Structure 1
Amino acid sequence: MQTDVLLDRFLAALTPLDPVAVWAHGSLAGGDYQEGRSDLDLIAVLPSITPRTVWRLAKLHARLRAEPLSGQLHCTYLTPSADMDGRHLTWAHEELFKRPVTAVTRRELHAFGRVLHGKPPAELLPPVPDRELTDFVVRDQRDFWRPAVDNAPLWSRDVWVDLGLLTFARASVTLREGRLISKCEALELLPGLGAPVAVVEDIRARRYGDAVATVEDRAALTRSYLGPAIDELVAAYG
């Protein structure tokens, strides 16, 4: 697989920085990975992150750009003493910037993180209390996704339709049952949650087949469903 080749080359390029650990989360760890479609979501723990380290990481990722799938490799860099409430150096979307490692990501790492190198997550990351996970999921639905529903132009893009619905289904299960589910599981649950079946089938065809989007009004259908659904979920658990 091209994925394995890319991961091997990434780990080899990272070796001179003496990584303490490298982990996969998301689809790559959760069993729902689709080569060429899914992102490769990684966390690397380095002994320290200095200005010289940042420069070396920028060069490392620049050299990997010629590799197939390199544009889908996203990696956040931590140190063993990193503050989990802070923002951390991340390579994604062809650039370096800083972003948090969310409670969902950390719970994924503890639950089913895939160790690519070094120590397991349990030895380096504090556990995520249920309340912290619940609070994050509610905030994400209330403060990010609900305002986004009202921004109509966003929903002309497949990624917003797909992630909006799948994230809602995953949030619903986490809040109601306290567990994390894959995107594949979320897709199966969406019709039972009242999501528009035509849009769900459209997502399935594009994610797991070779079809292009065929539901012309999928943006309107998705937004008319998600707005009230998010409001109800937040009211119940917020």
Structure 2
Amino acid sequence: MPTDALLDRFLTGLAPLTPVAVWAHGSLAGGDYREGRSDLDLITVLDRPVTARTVWRVALLHARLRGEPLADRLHCTYLARDTAGDAERRHLTWAHEQLFRRTVTPVTRTELHSFGRVLHGVPPVDALPPVPDGELAAFVVRDQRDFWRREVDRAVNWTQDVWVDLGLLTFARATVTLREGRLISKREALEVLPGLGAPGEVVEDVRRRRYADPAPTAPAPTTEKWIQHRAGLTRDYLGPAIDSLVARDG
């Protein structure tokens, strides 16, 4: 299986950095993983500060993985154990085939504590503080209000599959988290969307592209008219839906 082969090679290449732990989160941990369509979302905890030499070694590791099946989908954030609990800290991250820094969000930290998959070393409970009460809900509202609501107004985004998919699925996940205090998978979110009033033809489009069995061997034919129609339906739904969520839970 290409996923297992890639993870084995990644862990072997990571060994010289003596990681305390390597965890999977997202679909790879939550039972929603679709090989070739899902990302491999990982967290590595190191036993020492991230120095310039660490950055060089991480860059070299990922460069050596290029060309491996699915390597472009492997994303990993690197935490130093003594600063892992700092929710505002930006940590070294490899994603989308480049290095940058980003925080480990309350959603990711909650996933790790709820259903994180241990690939190496200690479990999350031994190296990562739990998310304080209220922090997850506050983050979810802020993410919808400050990021997604703003992006709805940028029409050019919504002709792209990824924006349609993540915009709708993230909204559904946020709604369930705020209503029930739990996280759900993207596939579960897809089942929730019709009940939230999402446009049915767009939901079915997402379902076909992400979850059809077997996976489509080629993209279904699309037209510019459909792409624009889908974009309009999605934006017309998400704008008022996010406004209502923020007004109710913000």
Instruction: Report the TM range for the smaller structure's normalisation.
Output: over 0.9
Amino acid at match of 2:245: L
Following TM superposition, by how much is the alpha carbon of 1:129 offset from its aligned partner in structure 2, in angstroms? 2.1
* Aligned mates of 2:202, 2:184 — CA distance in 1: 20
| 2:122 equivalent to 1:114 | no
- Measured against aligned partners, the alpha-carbon deviations of 1:167-214 in whole angstroms (never above 9, x if no partner) come to 000000000100000001000010000000000000000001225375
Contact 1:174 1:180 in 2 (8 A): yes
* Aligned mates of 1:146, 1:212 — CA distance in 2: 29
| 2:227 equivalent to 1:224 | no
Deviating beyond 4 angstroms after TM superposition, the runs of 4 or more aligned structure 1 residues are none
Q: How does 1:100-179 map to 2 (within 5 A)?
A: 100-179=103-182
* Aligned mates of 1:171, 1:224 — CA distance in 2: 18
Equivalenced residues, count: 238
Amino acid at match of 2:66: R
* Aligned mates of 2:20, 2:163 — CA distance in 1: 35
Alignment-derived partner of residue 43 in structure 2: 43
Amino acid at match of 2:69: P
Contact 1:202 1:213 in 2 (8 A): no
Alignment-derived partner of residue 23 in structure 2: 23
* Aligned mates of 1:118, 1:205 — CA distance in 2: 37
* Aligned mates of 1:174, 1:93 — CA distance in 2: 27
* Aligned mates of 2:53, 2:221 — CA distance in 1: 45
Cα root mean square deviation, aligned: 1.0
* Aligned mates of 1:171, 1:236 — CA distance in 2: 13
* Aligned mates of 1:69, 1:106 — CA distance in 2: 24
**3-state SS of the aligned residue for 1:56?**
helix
* Aligned mates of 2:91, 2:204 — CA distance in 1: 37
Amino acid at match of 1:26: G
**3-state SS of the aligned residue for 1:129?**
coil
Alignment-derived partner of residue 200 in structure 1: 203
Amino acid at match of 2:197: G
* Aligned mates of 2:131, 2:158 — CA distance in 1: 32
Following TM superposition, by how much is the alpha carbon of 1:51 offset from its aligned partner in structure 2, in angstroms? 1.0
* Aligned mates of 2:57, 2:200 — CA distance in 1: 47
Sort the Cα spacing of 1:213 and 1:104 in 2 relative to 1 into closer, same or farther, 3 A.
farther
Following TM superposition, by how much is the alpha carbon of 1:130 offset from its aligned partner in structure 2, in angstroms? 3.1
Instruction: In structure 2, list runs of 5 or more residues that go unmatched.
Output: none
* Aligned mates of 1:5, 1:112 — CA distance in 2: 22
Following TM superposition, by how much is the alpha carbon of 1:47 offset from its aligned partner in structure 2, in angstroms? 1.2
Amino acid at match of 2:137: T
Question: TM-score, normalized by length of structure 2?
Answer: 0.93
